[in-house]
Amino acid sequence: MDGQTFCSVARQGISKLQKAIHEHKKQKEAENISGACERFLLDLDKLSEPSNSNDPVNLQENFDYAALFVPFLAALELRNPKLTESALDSLHEFIAHGYLKDLNLRTDPPRSLAEVLVENVCGCSSIEDETVQMQVIRVLQASVMCEPSIVHGANLLQSVRTCFNLHLGSSSQANQTAAKAALSRMINAMMNRLEGLPASASRHVEDRGIPDLPASVPSTPEPAKSSQAGDFPAEHPEMPAPSPNGSHMNGSAAHTKTPEAEKVSEETDFKSVEERDVYEVFHRLCRLSMKYEVVDSWVKPDETMNMQSKMLSLELLLSMLDQSGPKFKGSAKFITCIKQQLCMSLLKNGVSPAPRVFKAALQVFVTLILNFKTHLKQEIGVFFTTIFLRILESPHSTYQQKTMVLQLLHSIFRDPQTVVDVFVNYDCDLKQVDIFAKMLNQLTRTVQSGSGASKDTGYFTPEQEFQLRSRGTDALVSMVESLMRFSKLVEKDFIWLETGEILPRSMAKNESSEGDLESSVDSRVGGESEDVDPVLKQKEHKTQLQQGIKAFNLKPKKGIEILTSSGHLKKEPQAIAAWFHNQPSLDKKAIGEYMGEPDEFNKAVLYAYVDMMSFANMTIDEALRHFLSGFWLPGEAQKIDRMMEKF
């Protein structure tokens, strides 16, 4: 550290603070601050001696430069706008020069400099002065991004929450913008540190291709702002309070720890403090993004702030996912949080009537399917079937919803690997819905028939119908082009394992010997192997099974014959009974009809079916409901008698 530069910056800061104290009307309140300034200047004079000023060793060993912050932190406690503005400006200058170190202040008991700094700066956010709020944002951003990083845990969460609340509650548009920008930079710094990159490093983010809202959609107005912070609702959406080592913020900035937050922090072990920081911010943003429902938010100002909270949370979550690297994607903690928290949030926001929220949820989903699909097979399937397909199929969906879903599909289908993954993991999986086929059929109907809007909701305009068909065509074209590009992969570049997994040949060679590789891999391209492609085997097997199920639902006895003759089902009572229990696609009426037949084999199936059920600790009516939950009673009295006798 350059001693001369330090002395110069310190003297300028002290001089500005002394000037602000002199202009302060109640100077008696600032007597302690003036004394601290004088004592610091005396120490600074000693440091300025030629033997010390240019010697970094003397500066670090003989000077307690944590004392530099003491008068400025004391000035913040007075909550006077002029004093606070001057103190915050100087603190920002000190942090920018790298003077914020991992030191303890001379307090009883000793407290971390970073902890006291963040606590006092966040407390100043309640001052109803635009300049002070801007300085608070600048200082918090600088303290989080300084190198080496010393703001972690509860202090980091407190900094993020304060900027979050200033974005929502400040009466200044400039402060709102600055707070949002500061949050983005803090998120970037945290993600970079987790991945071992410099805090200020920037990374390219690919465009997700979700279109802007059409001009016909009414924009949501800003909430009615006031220069008085007290005019905001007492329970306006705020970042949840930090959990570990709870900070003690002053004034109106104080919050209490939630039991859930404490539980997460106490029960979860982390590999590094950086991982803990990212996890806790990510976890709280997930909770915040699904906490507030939005209904007609452009009409009700009190709900508009809720929507802004939701929107900011989703945008920050998207930023974290976009910047995620190997450590984030490879952490079981983050994957679990995505499954349990973020996916639940997307399910709620994916049916939001607010176009902005719906679009933000789609953007997050695109990132998940492109970067996390290996971990989210079940969740992605739910999104496709319960949200996107329903929106395209429903005649009651709005033009904006259909447009954004079609654009989302276009973005997803531009990636050849994703298109193939959807087909292999869903259409070729016996336990999954045929998502690829359903999407293909629905896009075809959209291109041919347009929106399919009903008279109840009003017809779309000819221009809107044209746009929907055009976007549906774009999605179909991107799907076909991706399949064509994927089909050009040659045998020397990629191989298919028996599981259907696609691997570069170099990776596969590293994982097994050449002999094992030849015996376990079928060629995808070239046709040299006589064996059928394992993926085609899976698809053929699933198609035959679906045909058998369809036949069973129409004619149960014939369906069983088809499935047993093709090898999909053993002709044994226990096997068929277990299949009845575990196959959700079967018609309950058909199951009852089959088990009610008088043939001995059918009776054996009925007995095996009942024997597989447990009625322990049930009353008679509970047991009967449980018994009848898997099938419908047939209409003939004799069949019902046989079933009830076994029951």
C-alpha torsion angle, residues 607, 610, 614, 620 (rounded to 10): -110
pLDDT for 455? 56
| Tokens found for residue 500 | 């259907």
Joined tokens for residue 322: 């976009």
| Bridging pattern class, strands 494-497 and 111-112 | unpaired
* 197 residue type, one letter: L
Distance (Å, whole) CA 83 – CA 132: 10
What integer pLDDT is reported at residue 486 of this predicted model? 84
Q: Of the ranges 49-63, 171-185, 448-462, 573-587, which one carries the lowest mean pLDDT score?
A: 49-63
Output phi, psi for 235, to 5 deg: -120, 45
Question: First vs last Cα of the chain: how many Å apart?
Answer: 86
Position 130 confidence tier, pLDDT thresholds 50, 70, 90 = very high
Q: What is the pLDDT of residue 203?
A: 56
Q: How far apart are CA 634 and CA 639, in angstroms?
A: 7
d(CA 508, CA 498): 12
Is the pLDDT assigned to residue 222 strictly greater than 50? no
Predicted local confidence at residue 283, as pLDDT? 94
As a dihedral over the C-alpha atoms of residue 321, residue 324, residue 327, residue 328, rounded to 10 degrees, the angle is -10
Longest dimension (CA), the chain: 110
| CA 24-28-34 angle, 5° bins | 75
Specify the pTM: 0.74
Burial 579-602 (b: 16+ CB within 10 A, else e): bbeeeeebbeebbbbbbbbeeeeb
pLDDT average, residue stretch 477-488: 87
How big, in percent rounded to 5, are the helix, strand and coil portions of the chain?
65, 0, 35
Over range 561-574, report the average pLDDT. Answer: 87
Query: Mean pLDDT: which of 179-183, 307-311, 527-531 is highest?
Result: 179-183
Within 13 Å of residue 527, how many CA atoms lie on the same side as its CB? 0
User: Which of 247 and 275 is assigned the larger pLDDT?
Assistant: 275
The DSSP code sequence of 356-367 is HHHHHHHHHHHH
pLDDT digits (tens, 9 = 90+) for 590-599: 999 999 888 8
Structure tokens at 185: 């930079």
DSSP labels, 22-72: HH-S-GGGGHHHHHHHHHHHHHHHHHTSHHHHT-HHHHHHH--GGGGGHHH
Per the model's pLDDT, the better-predicted residue between 161 and 33 turns out to be: 161
Mean pLDDT of 233-254: 40
Averaged pLDDT, 335-358: 90
Do the Cβ atoms of 60 and 1 come closer than 8 Å? yes
Segment (H or E) for 521: strand 521-522
Residues β-bridged to residue 584: none
CATH class of 535-646: mainly alpha
Please check whether residue 259 is in contact with residue 278, taking contact to mean a CB–CB distance below 8 angstroms: no
Average pLDDT over residues 81-103: 87
343 in Cβ contact with 376 (< 8 Å): yes
CB 408 within 8 A of CB 388: yes
> With contact defined as beta carbons under 8 Å apart, do 373 and 418 qualify?
yes
Residue type, 428: C
Q: Which residue has the higher pLDDT, 556 or 245?
A: 556
Nearest of 623, 398, 629 to residue 406 by alpha carbon: 398
Mean pLDDT of 371-384: 90
Amino acid symbol at 635: G
Going from the C-alpha of 59 to that of each of 64, 144, 299, the distances in angstroms are: 8, 25, 60
Q: What mean pLDDT value characterizes the chain?
A: 78
Could you tell me which residues are beta bridge partners of residue 504? 494
* Mean pLDDT score, 105-109: 74
Whether the CB-CB separation of 498 and 522 falls below 8 Å is answered with yes
Q: How confident is the model at residue 199 (pLDDT cuts 50, 70, 90)?
A: low
- Rounded CA-CA distance 610/591 in Å is 13
pLDDT score, position 267: 46
What pLDDT does residue 231 have? 33
What are the backbone angles phi and psi of residue 190, rounded to the nearest 5°? -65, -45
Q: Pick the residue with more confidence: 91 or 45?
A: 91
| Residue 204 structure tokens | 């390219």
Q: Which tokens belong to 86?
A: 């001057």
In whole angstroms, give the CA distance from residue 171 to residue 173: 7
Residue 227: per-residue pLDDT: 34
* Residues in the chain, total: 647
Delimiting residues of CATH 1.10.220.20 domain(s) in the chain: 535-646
